[in-house]
Structure 1
Amino acid sequence: MTAEIAIMSRTAVVLAADSATTVTTWKNGELEKRYFKGANKLYELSRRGPVGLMIFGSAGLQTVPWELYIKSFRDDLGVEQFDKLQTYSEKFFDFVQHNDKLFSKESKRDSLLSLLGGASYRLQHFIAVHAGEDDVAKLAAKTPEEIEAAIALTEIDVEKLKLPDLLTEADIANAVSETATELEGVATQSIDIFIQDVARAHLVPRFVDMLIKFAVKQFLNYASLTGVVIAGYGKEEYFPVLEVYDCYGFLGDRLIVKKNENDSKTMDATKPAVIQPFATTHMIDTFRMGVSPDMFDAVYDSTKAALGEMGSRVMAECGAQTPVSQQRLAEIIEETRSFHVDQWFDQIRNQHVFPLSNIINSLPLPDMAGLARSLIELESLKERVTRPSESVSGPIDVAVISKHDGFVWIDRKHYFKPELNPRFFKRAE
C-alpha cells in the first residue's frame, strides 16, 4: 500500500508520497508480507522541463523496478523539452515499451508463458466442473470422450468471455504465434489433464488455443497494476496539468496502459484548485469532504432502511384501504433518498470542497507543500493506530513544480548521509 497526493493550484502543483513498500512472498504454503520504509515513489522526470512523476501500486514492471525505467528515460531525454505535458507521457511509455535492454524480448516472452501457466490451472478447474468434478485430480478417472465433451463446453464459456476494451483480437493472435507451438510440445508433460492419460493427447491443440484466449481475456484481472502520475508543464502550458495512467504491464510485446480520465486534471484561469489523492485515500477524503467515506456509505444505506420502515408504519397507522405496493414504495424511497443525498452533496461541496479549493488557490507554495505533507502524515497516523501493518509510513517526499522555477524538492530522503557524499551532488550537477 501507499499514500500519495497531488495538490494543484493555478500557480503550481505539489506532489507528496510516503515511503512504505510491501513485499509479498509464499512460505510453507502461506502468504507472508514484509513492510519496509525506504521506497522511492516520487521522481523528477526531466532534468530541464518542469515535470514530475509518482508511482503507486506495483513497484516494478514484470520484475524490472520502475525506478530503472524512470531514471533511464530521464537520461535519454537529456535537455529535450516538449510543448505539452501529454507528450512527456507518450514519450515515457513509448520508451518503456521499446527498451529491450531493460526488459528483453525473451523476458517478455517468458512473462507471457508465465501468464499462460497461471491461467492453465484455472482453465482445468473449469473443465473439471463441466465434467462434474470439483477437483482437477479427479479427472484422471474420466475417459477421453468425457474430457473432450467437457472441453467443448468450456470452449463455449471462453468464447462468451468479453475481451476488455484495452485488448484486441490481435493480442490473442500474437500470443498464439508466440507460444502455441511450444505449449503444444510440452503439454503432455506439464499439464495435469494430459499427464493423467496419454490418450487425450489429440485434444492438446484445442486446449492450448482455448488457454491462450482465456488467459488474454483475463489478463487485466491478474496483472500487477501500477498507477503512474505525471504532473507539470509543457513549454506552451502556463497552468499545471495532471495526468494519471493505469499500467498493467506487458502482454507479449505490447505495453498495456490506459489514461485514467477521472483522476487526470488540467488547470486554467477559472478552475478551482485540485486535491487528488491516490492509493490509500481514506483520511484525505475525510479532510476534503468533512465526513469519512465509510460513514457516508453507512448513512446512505441506513437511510434506505429507515425510509422503508417509516413508509410501512405510516400506511399501517393510517389504516390505508389501498396501501401502496412494495414496488411503488421502493420507487418512492429511492426518489426520496436520491433527493436527500443530492442535498447532502451540495452541503459538502459548498461548506468544504469549494472553500478549501479557493483557499488553496491563494496559498503560498510553502504552505501548499506543508498541506500535502500533513495530509500524508494524517493518513500514516490513521494506518499506524488502526492496523499492525503500517502500510503507509516512512519518510515523506515532497516536491513543488512551478512553471518558471521547475521541479523543486521540499523534502527528500536519501539512503546515505548527504554531508559524507559531496561528490554525488557534483555528479548530479
Structure 2
Amino acid sequence: MTAEVGVINERGIALAADSAVTINGSKVTNSAVKLFTLDSAHYVGIMIYGNADLQSVPWEVIIKSYREKLKNNTFEKLRDYVNDFEKYISSLEIWNSKDVQWAMVCKYTYTIINTIKPFLSEGKGLDEAINETEKLVPKDKNFDINEQEVITNFENKILNEFKSNFSGITDSQCSKCSKLVVRCLMSNYTPNDYTGIVFAGYGKEEMFPSIYNFQVDGIIDQKVKISGFEETTSNPLSNGGLASIVPFAQSDVMKTVIYGIAPELNDFRKQQLSQLKETIVSCFPKEQQKAVKSVFNRYDQLFDNHSQTEYVSPITSMLGNLSISELGNMAEMLVNLTAFKRKFSNDIGTVGGPIDVLTISKGEGPTWIKRKEYFDKSLNEGYKLRRR
C-alpha cells in the first residue's frame, strides 16, 4: 500500500509519494520508487499506486522504457501524454505471450470462484450459487476484446481452476462459469489489485497544470483495461481556478485534514443518524413522518455545510495563494501525517520510508525537492551524461 498526493493551484503542482511496499501481505520494505519524471523536455510527472506490476512486469520498467522511447517528442496537451502512454503499453510485444495474458484471465477466474464460494457456505447448491453469482456480474461490455478468442485460448485453464475448486462440478456448470469469467472481464468491473496511474503537469501548449488519474487492471488482446478516469485542473476557464488537494491510495488521513472528520467516522455518524431517523419516524403518524424526516435531513445538511465552511473552504482558498515551494511542503506533510498515523496504530506500517517530492511549474518545469537515490551520482559520470 502507499500514500500519495497531488497539490495543485494555478502556479503549479506538487506531488509526493512514500516508499513503503508490502510483500506477501506482511513484509514491508521502504525502497519502492513510485514517482517518476520524463526527460527534461517534458513538464510531466508520473505516480503509481496499488499493484506495482502489470502482469508480472514492473511499472518502473514500463515507465522508464516509455521515457527512453519518448525522448524529446513533446505533446500539446497533458491528455495527449496519457493517450500516447496507453498506446505504448499496448504495443509492447511481451503481451503476446499467452502465459502473460493468462495472468489477467486468471484474476477474473478467481473473482468468479470467490463470489460463488460464499453462497455455497450459506448452504446453497452449486447451481443456485452460480445463478446468484450471475446476477452480480455486470452485463455491460465496456472492454472491447475478442470474446471468442479469449474462450478459445483460455477455456481449458479456466475449467481446470473451477474443477480444482468445486468437486463434482459438471461440464455444463463449468461452461456457464467460463462464460461468466469472460463477461466479467469485458465489463467495467475492476478487481482490487489494479494499479493507479497519475499523470500530472503540463502539455507544451498548456498554461495551467492538470492531474489525470486512472486505474489499469491489465492487458489482453493488445488492449489495456482502464477505468475510473478523473481529471483535476487549475485552469480558471474550466473550474474557476480552484486549487485542490488530490489524495491517492490511503487517503483517510488526508481527507480528515481536509473535511475535519475522519471518513470512516463520518460514515458511522451517517449510518447511526439514518437508523435513529427510521426508529423515531416510525413512532409518528404517517401524515407527520415526512416532516420528521426533513428535520433529520436538515441537521445532516447543516453538518456537511459546517464541514465545507469551516474546514474545506479555508484550506482551498489558502491553497490558491501558495508558492511552488509551499505546495511541496504541504504535499510532503500530508504524506508524513499518513505515515505517522500508520506507525502509531495497529498497522504493519504500510506507509513510510523516504518521501519523494516533485514540483512542476511552467517556469521551472519538474524540480525534485526530495528524492531518494540508491547510488552516488558523483561516482557515475555515465549516468549524468545519459540523463543530460
Q: Same fold (TM over 0.5)?
A: yes
CA RMSD of aligned residues (A): 3.4
Rounded to whole Å, the distance in 2 between the matches of 1:2 and 1:127 is: 33
Match for 2:58 among 61, 65, 68?
Answer: 65
Rounded to whole Å, the distance in 1 between the matches of 2:381 and 2:273 is: 62
Match for 1:324 among 274, 285, 302?
Answer: 285
Q: CA deviation at 1:251?
A: 3.8
Rounded to whole Å, the distance in 2 between the matches of 1:304 and 1:401 is: 44
TM-score by length of 1: 0.78
Q: CA deviation at 1:155?
A: 7.0
Identify the residue that residue 175 of structure 1 maps to in structure 2.
Answer: 150
AA at the equivalent of 1:34: K
Identify the residue that residue 162 of structure 1 maps to in structure 2.
Answer: 138
Query: Is the 8 Å Cα contact of residues 196 and 215 (structure 2) preserved in structure 1?
Result: yes
Q: CA deviation at 1:308?
A: 5.9
TM-score by length of 2: 0.85
* Counterparts of residues 14-413 of structure 1 (less than 5 Å): 14-24=14-24, 32-101=25-94, 103-112=95-104, 114-115=106-107, 118=110, 150=127, 154=130, 158=134, 161-168=137-144, 170-180=145-155, 182=156, 191-192=163-164, 204=171, 206-207=172-173, 209-219=175-185, 220=189, 222=191, 224-261=193-230, 264-269=231-236, 270-305=240-275, 323-325=284-286, 329=289, 331-413=290-372
Rounded to whole Å, the distance in 2 between the matches of 1:160 and 1:370 is: 45
The 3 A distance-change label for structure 1 pair 230 and 157 is: closer
What is the aligned-residue identity percentage?
A: 24
Deviates more, 1:60-69 or 1:248-257: 248-257
Rounded to whole Å, the distance in 1 between the matches of 2:119 and 2:338 is: 45
> In the TM superposition, what whole-angstrom CA distance separates every residue of 1:189-208 from its partner, at most 9, and x where no partner exists?
99359996xxx9xx64x455
Q: In the alignment, is residue 4 of structure 1 matched against residue 4 of structure 2?
A: yes
AA at the equivalent of 1:107: D
Query: Is the 8 Å Cα contact of residues 401 and 407 (structure 1) preserved in structure 2?
Result: yes
Rounded to whole Å, the distance in 1 between the matches of 2:294 and 2:157 is: 56
Query: Is the 8 Å Cα contact of residues 155 and 210 (structure 1) preserved in structure 2?
Result: no
Q: CA deviation at 1:361?
A: 1.5
Identify the residue that residue 373 of structure 2 maps to in structure 1.
Answer: 414
AA at the equivalent of 2:177: L
Q: CA deviation at 1:400?
A: 0.5
> In the TM superposition, what whole-angstrom CA distance separates every residue of 1:92-139 from its partner, at most 9, and x where no partner exists?
0111112114x44333343256347646855986997999758xxxxx
Identify the residue that residue 13 of structure 2 maps to in structure 1.
Answer: 13
Rounded to whole Å, the distance in 2 between the matches of 1:363 and 1:233 is: 19
> Secondary structure at 2:320's aligned position in 1?
helix
> In the TM superposition, what whole-angstrom CA distance separates every residue of 1:26-64 from its partner, at most 9, and x where no partner exists?
xxxxxx521111101111134411011111111111111
Q: CA deviation at 1:225?
A: 0.8
Rounded to whole Å, the distance in 2 between the matches of 1:383 and 1:291 is: 17
* Structure 2 stretches lacking a partner, 5+ long: none
AA at the equivalent of 2:341: K
Rounded to whole Å, the distance in 1 between the matches of 2:313 and 2:122 is: 56
> Secondary structure at 1:390's aligned position in 2?
coil
> In the TM superposition, what whole-angstrom CA distance separates every residue of 1:213-272 from its partner, at most 9, and x where no partner exists?
2212344454621111111111221111111111111244321012423xx212223322
Q: CA deviation at 1:311?
A: 6.3
> Secondary structure at 2:213's aligned position in 1?
strand
AA at the equivalent of 1:217: R
Query: Is the 8 Å Cα contact of residues 7 and 244 (structure 2) preserved in structure 1?
Result: yes
> Secondary structure at 1:260's aligned position in 2?
strand
AA at the equivalent of 1:290: G
Query: Is the 8 Å Cα contact of residues 230 and 243 (structure 1) preserved in structure 2?
Result: yes
Query: Is the 8 Å Cα contact of residues 175 and 212 (structure 1) preserved in structure 2?
Result: no
The 3 A distance-change label for structure 1 pair 118 and 423 is: same
